Copies of this chain bind each other. A is one copy, B any other.
Amino acid sequence: MGKLLIVGTLAFDAIESPFGKTDRILGGAATFIGLAAAKFDVKSAIVSVVGDDFPDEYLEVLRKKNIDLSGVEIVKGGKTFFWSGKYKNDLNVRETLVTELNTLADFDPKVPDAFKNADVVMLGNLHPNIQLNVIKQLETRPKLIILDTMNYWMDHTWDELHNVMRHIDVLTLNDEEARQLAKEHSLVKAAEKIQTLGPKYVVIKKGEHGALLFHGDNIFFAPALPLEEVFDPTGAGDTFAGGFSGYLAASRNRTFENLKNAVIHGSNLASFCVEKFGTERMVTLKEEEVAKRLEQFRELTQFNIEIE
């Protein structure tokens, strides 16, 4: 069974959208990545940090999915990372109301010995030095290191981000971030340039407009599944990353053709995540639902033109 090492936040989220408002609920990149990756035949571990205010029932949600939590540090007297945000009418615009780093400010990741030879490493959005620190602890070079990042690290830790990028295989980021990182408006040109900075593969996430995978001259595109209602986009990008990395950890095949499939699996799982607030939909999601929606993805995108 493939081993997947997940590094990222476990968090309290408080979310407002036009469809409602939540109290502090379970959130964080590692949470969404872990829940999505659990849909595949993988042995996963999360490396993260929380305060002792983090309820054991939240950890139990992850343990029940057979995720190894021995790399989650619980800081005595510490407070867990808290994020609060508000979505505007079209759900594409997000305003951050509160960010309290708390224990995350001093996060010193410790990779469990049993995962120092992970097949795939999924580095969720964090300070690039923390992401690099994790890579340095590995005993064998993983078959795939995937790194997610965001504009904040481009604004504040440009050099550190470029440094860690030299050690990774796949970079995931959104369209505006790709433009900022590459200083190119065209996403095709941006992805070309990013590939000169380290990652051989670039995944550009466009939210409701789908995701693009670039590798050399190869481009693949997966749409977001058109939905009747989207309640809460929080975690969609991380759920995509979890489906992408989980599928690839479960598979021995890491060709471009199979990375296409990983993009579809990631998009498929993300389409569920947004249907309810927080992790609710992902926790109860059934195999049959996943398979049925994959069929919808096929109908949505597959055609049969004979080219002369």
Residues of A within 8 A of B (CB): 89-90, 185-189, 206, 209-210, 212, 218-221, 223, 226-230, 257, 260-261, 264-265, 291, 294-295, 298-305, 307-308
Q: Are B212 and A221 interface neighbours, CB within 8 A? A: no
Q: Are A209 and B212 interface neighbours, CB within 8 A? A: no
**CB < 8 Å neighbour of A305 from B229, B294, B304, B308:** B294
Q: Are B300 and A226 interface neighbours, CB within 8 A? A: no
Q: Are A264 and B303 interface neighbours, CB within 8 A? A: yes
Q: Which residues of B contact A308 (CB under 8 A)?
A: 291
Q: Are A261 and B303 interface neighbours, CB within 8 A? A: yes
Q: Are B260 and A303 interface neighbours, CB within 8 A? A: yes
Known: A291-B307, A307-B294. A186 touches B229 (CB 8 A): yes
Report the 6 A-B pairs with minimum CB-CB distance, sorted nearest first.
A209-B209, A221-B223, A260-B303, A188-B228, A261-B305, A188-B226
Q: Which residues of B contact A307 (CB under 8 A)?
A: 291, 294-295, 298
Q: Are B226 and A219 interface neighbours, CB within 8 A? A: yes
Q: Are B302 and A302 interface neighbours, CB within 8 A? A: yes
The CA of A210 and the CA of B186, in the complex, are separated in Å by 16
Q: Which residues of B contact A291 (CB under 8 A)?
A: 307-308
Q: Are A300 and B219 interface neighbours, CB within 8 A? A: yes
Nearest B residue to A247 via CB reads B305
The CA of A24 and the CA of B261, in the complex, are separated in Å by 47
Known: A188-B226, A261-B304. A220 touches B90 (CB 8 A): no
Q: Which residues of B contact A212 (CB under 8 A)?
A: 226
Q: Which residues of B contact A227 (CB under 8 A)?
A: 186, 188
List 13 extra interface pairs beyond A209-B210, A260-B303, CB under 8 A: A89-B185, A188-B227, A189-B228, A206-B209, A209-B209, A218-B299, A220-B299, A223-B223, A257-B303, A264-B303, A294-B307, A298-B305, A301-B301
Q: Are B228 and A300 interface neighbours, CB within 8 A? A: no
Nearest B residue to A257 via CB reads B304
Q: Report the minimal beta-carbon distance from A190 to chain B, rounded to whole angstroms.
A: 10
The CA of A285 and the CA of B212, in the complex, are separated in Å by 27
